[in-house]
Chains A and B, each alone.
Chain A
Amino acid sequence: MKGVKGWIVAILLLWIAGAAQEAIAFQVSFGGISPDFPLIVIICVGLFSDKRSGAVVGFLAGVIHGAIAGGHMAAYAVTRTLVGFLTGWFNGMEFEGNAAVAFIVTAAATLCTQLTFLLLNPRGAILPFLLATIGSAMYNGVLAIPLYALLTKVLDSPRR
């Protein structure tokens, strides 16, 4: 992600993702599995960013998610900052960016993020949370594919 254009796109996507998380995430959930729109944005934007930009986008997404959720702001901010940083770091490695990579990275990052979130914010019923996390990872991965394709058109191609 380079220049003002990249940041405008990132902020616009974070705004849309925040609204979607607040308004439609529960409407498109099934069996306790729901998408995490800000997380999808972090990862897809992170695949076009460096470590620093990825961390900042992750931090902003975490603060937005924490604010609309009304709780656990610290856990959201820390986990999302780390995932943004790691995605940006991953982008710096040699890889062929495509939809499959977006799916795999998003699913894996969702699993890591939610498990870290669980460590920072322990809860009683772990098994249902883990099952929902696996489902959400797949869900997020699928949703990341069209967003990645869109970003490929709008932003510069990911580094190879």
Chain B
Amino acid sequence: MVIGLCALGIVLGNLQNGARVSQHANRMDTAIRFVIEPLAVPMSNGTRGISDFFKGILLARNLAAENRNLKELLKHMDLYDSQIAEKDREIDRLRALEKFQSMPGKTRVTASVCGFSINENRITLNVGSKQGVKLGCPVECADGLVGTVEELESNQCQVLLITSVGLQPISNGKTEQIGATDVNRNPPLIGVVRGENASTLSMTFLDPKAPAQIGDMIVTCGFSDKIPPGLLIGKIIQTEPNEELGTLKARLSPAFEPGALDLVFVLI
């Protein structure tokens, strides 16, 4: 019996992998999540509510001061919003004149994190294809790039975090690494980023003699039809030149804190 159950588990695992490769939602996963969801959502909201309640009591004074500062910042940002919108329109007009593709990630879909699988480096969001989300769409939070949509259902999706080991975001059915640039150097240094472990990213620079420094900020370079340029990925915490292979690698600390993810934006 145990052997039979193990064999059945392997068959179900193969079905799950097959569904992922063909970029379809696995019906069994969908059915189980459908059953779990009605309890998971209130559970998540309840624990967050309790946590926020006690945090509010303990840090009331700081939160009030922070709120005032944020309101001030918002006022200042409003002054620039109209200018940014005008510049964006101008960029779109010029790109249309030159017959370039439109820039990806112009529309933000707000989503709540309703699940987190620590071992798999995945989060589940409460938005899906009905809200316009597509496979491979980047997901960001206030701190920076979080990951890309890897599994899609009608009302929810799963996001593979950029910290995932060997992350290869999906794009048009193929896989690619994230193009990134070091914005603290002039000219900016170009490279590719991939996950190394749950809390670190690795960036390989195209130029093995790139003068990257610890503390440099790394953002997406936009060499993708899904991931727009300028999303903060993280900052360099260590550089590792390898003269034998003629490469320069850097370790990055991701911009976001996985455990603190609550509200995120899917860029469609």
Interface residues of A (CB under 8 A from B): 15-16, 18-20, 22-29, 32, 34, 51-52, 55-56, 58-59, 62-64, 66-78, 81-82, 85, 123-125, 128
Across-interface contacts of B28 in A (CB, < 8 A): 63, 67
**In contact, A74 and B10 (Cβ under 8 angstroms):** yes
The stretch among B40-48, B70-78, B95-103, B135-143 that forms the contact with chain A is B40-48
Sample of 20 A–B contacts (CB below 8 Å): A15-B35, A15-B39, A18-B36, A20-B40, A26-B118, A34-B118, A55-B1, A66-B12, A66-B16, A67-B29, A68-B33, A70-B120, A70-B151, A71-B20, A71-B122, A72-B13, A74-B9, A81-B2, A124-B165, A124-B196
A73 and B43: CB pair below 8 A? no
Q: Does B259 contact A (CB under 8 A)?
A: yes
Asked if B145 CB lies within 8 Å of chain A CBs, one says no
- How far in angstroms is the closest Cβ of chain B from A115? 14
Name the residue of chain A whose CB is nearest to the CB of B258: A26
Is chain A's interface secondary structure helix, strand, loop, or mixed overall?
A: helix
Residues on B with beta carbons closer than 8 Å to the beta carbon of A22: 33, 36, 40, 44, 114-117, 124
Q: Is the CB of A23 within 8 A of B120?
A: no
Known A-B contacts A23-B114, A26-B259; the reply to A78 vs B32 at CB < 8 A is no
Whether, in the assembled complex, B51 has its beta carbon less than 8 Å from a beta carbon of chain A, the answer is yes
Where the two chains meet, the residues of B that have a C-beta atom closer than 8 Å to any C-beta of A are 1-2, 5-6, 8-10, 12-16, 20, 26, 28-29, 32-33, 35-36, 39-41, 43-44, 47-48, 51, 114-120, 122, 124, 150-151, 158, 165-166, 196-199, 258-259
Question: Is the CB–CB distance between B165 and A56 below 8 Å?
Answer: no
CB-CB nearest in chain B for A58: B5
User: CA of A20 to CA of B115 in the docked complex: distance in angstroms?
Assistant: 9
Residues of A within 8 A of B14 (CB): 74
Shortest distance between the CB of A103 and any CB in chain B (Å): 22
Other than the given A23-B44, A58-B5, A124-B165, 17 more pairs (CB < 8 A) read A19-B43, A22-B117, A22-B124, A27-B44, A27-B48, A29-B259, A55-B1, A55-B2, A59-B8, A67-B16, A68-B115, A70-B120, A70-B122, A70-B158, A74-B12, A81-B5, A128-B197
For B8, what are the chain A residues with a Cβ–Cβ distance below 8 Å?
59, 77
Q: Tell me, rounded to whole Å, the shortest Cβ–Cβ distance linking B109 to chain A.
A: 20
Partner of A125 from the list B44, B117, B197 (CB cut-off 8 Å) is B197
Contact of A77 among B5, B44, B116 (CB under 8 A): B5
Say yes or no: A77-B10 contact (C-beta < 8 A), given A27-B51, A67-B29, A69-B122.
Answer: yes
B-chain residues with CB within 8 Å of residue A18 when the two chains form the complex: 32, 36, 40
Interface contact A85-B2, CB-CB below 8 Å: yes
Q: How far is the CB of B73 from chain A (nearest CB, A)?
A: 28
CA distance A69 to B123 in the complex (A): 9
For residue A114, which residue of chain B has the nearest CB?
B119
Q: For the complex, give the distance between the alpha carbons of A125 and B202 in Å.
A: 13
A158 to B267, CA, bound (A): 53
- Report A7 CB to chain B, min CB distance, Å: 16
Partner of A16, one of B5, B13, B20, B39: B39
Residue of A nearest to B12 (CB): A73
Residues of A within 8 A of B114 (CB): 22-23
Asked if B117 and A69 sit within 8 Å, CB to CB, the answer is: yes
Contact of A63 among B9, B151, B197, B258 (CB under 8 A): B9
Q: Within the assembled complex, what's the spacing in Å between the Cα atoms of A78 and B29?
A: 17
